């Protein structure tokens, strides 16, 4: 795989380097005070669609990550940090808060209750702003019986249902493994069944699991939890 990546890079880079035409980025600093709909006056017919539309919250990740981004023509890094890390120096009146951190607009009404629905949609979405510990700080304090995790609820907040119907537990865990991590950050409860050292030793790995890079580059760090070396 390493060779494949290197080959891909070696093919792509010369393609860029032998470019025949250079298109300099448009400097938007002169337009930073405009209201968003006013941007359409230039963008109409320019061949570049107006950005910052209804889906911008999801869309902006890609233009913001490009090496030719022009975000800083209008924004400073505070715009990133205010949304991603709860900063509030320029807080709009519409912005709500969670304790001292400002919440982004996507965190609607009773977000504490609604967030499990949203967290299931693209499970990697939450980790763009939150460390795993953020989830564990709250979930570690909750009464398990009060949760509506399907497996736990069916057995009154215990793990008895998981033992009786392991396939359903597996399907749910695979769809949103981050929700397991939220309450069990170190995963010790998983080891009851999934360790290679003790218990029933159920293999949790995907069928085409590639362990070699995880082993070598992370110094067997997570492997040692379940395996002897």
Partner 1 sequence: MRRKKWLPPICLLLLFLAPGLSLAADLRFQSSTQYLWYTDPFKDKDQSDLVQYLKFNVTKLEPTGRVSAVGYGRLSGQFGSGNDPKLGDDDGLLGRLYFLYVNYALPSDRGDIRLGRQYVSVGAGAGTVDGVSAQLRDLGPVHTTVFAGYDVRFAETTDRTRPGNYLAGVSVGGSFLKGNNVDVSYLRKYDEDDVIREMVGVHADQRILDKAKAYADLRYDVLHGTYSEFLAGAKFFPFESPMTFTAEYFASYPTFDADTIYTAFAVTRYREAVGRVDYIVTPRLTLYGSYTRADYDGPTADVGTVGVRATPKQVPGLGLNASTDLRSGYPGDLTGFQASVDYAFGKTALAAGISYDVFQRDSMASDFTAKKVWGGGSYAFRKNMTARLRVEDTQTRQFKNEFQGRASVDLSF
30 binds partner 1 (CB under 8 A): no
Residue from 31, 57, 77, 164 touching partner 1 (CB under 8 A): that is 77
Q: How far is the CB of 163 from partner 1 (least distance, A)?
A: 18
Q: How far is the CB of 49 from partner 1 (least distance, A)?
A: 5
Task: Return the ∠ at Cα 131 (arms to 55 and 186), rounded to 5°.
Answer: 135
> Which one, 163 or 214, has the nearer CB to partner 1?
214
Give me the residues paired with residue 102 across strands: 97
198 binds partner 1 (CB under 8 A): no
Closest among 117, 26, 34, 14 to 107, alpha carbons compared:
117
199 binds partner 1 (CB under 8 A): no
164 binds partner 1 (CB under 8 A): no
Residue from 7, 26, 175, 198 touching partner 1 (CB under 8 A): that is 175
Query: Which residues, 201 to 220, sit near partner 1 by CB under 8 A?
Result: 204-207, 209-211, 213-214, 217-219
> Which one, 163 or 215, has the nearer CB to partner 1?
215
32 binds partner 1 (CB under 8 A): no
75 binds partner 1 (CB under 8 A): no
106 binds partner 1 (CB under 8 A): no
């Amino acid at each position: 795989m390493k060779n494949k990546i290197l080959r891909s890079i070696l093919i792509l880079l010369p393609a860029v380097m032998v470019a025949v035409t250079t298109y300099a980025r448009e400097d938007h600093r002169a337009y930073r005070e405009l209201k968003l709909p006013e941007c359409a006056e230039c963008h109409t017919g320019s061949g570049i669609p107006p950005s910052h539309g209804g889906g911008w919250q999801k869309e902006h990740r890609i233009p913001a990550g490009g090496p030719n981004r022009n975000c800083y023509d209008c924004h400073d890094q505070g715009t990133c940090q205010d949304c991603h890390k709860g900063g509030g120096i320029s807080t709009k009146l519409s912005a709500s808060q969670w304790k001292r951190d400002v919440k982004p607009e996507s965190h609607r009404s009773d977000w504490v209750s609604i967030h499990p629905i949203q967290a299931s949609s693209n499970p990697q979405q939450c980790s763009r702003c939150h460390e795993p510990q953020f989830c564990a700080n709250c979930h570690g304090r909750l009464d398990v019986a009060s949760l509506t995790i399907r497996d736990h609820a069916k057995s009154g907040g215990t793990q008895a249902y998981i033992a009786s119907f392991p396939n359903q537990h597996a399907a749910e865990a695979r769809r949103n493994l981050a929700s397991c991590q939220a309450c069990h950050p170190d995963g010790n409860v998983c080891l009851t069944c999934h360790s290679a050292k003790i218990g029933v030793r159920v293999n949790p790995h995907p069928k085409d699991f590639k362990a070699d890079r995880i082993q070598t580059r992370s110094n067997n760090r997570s492997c040692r939890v379940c395996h002897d070396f």
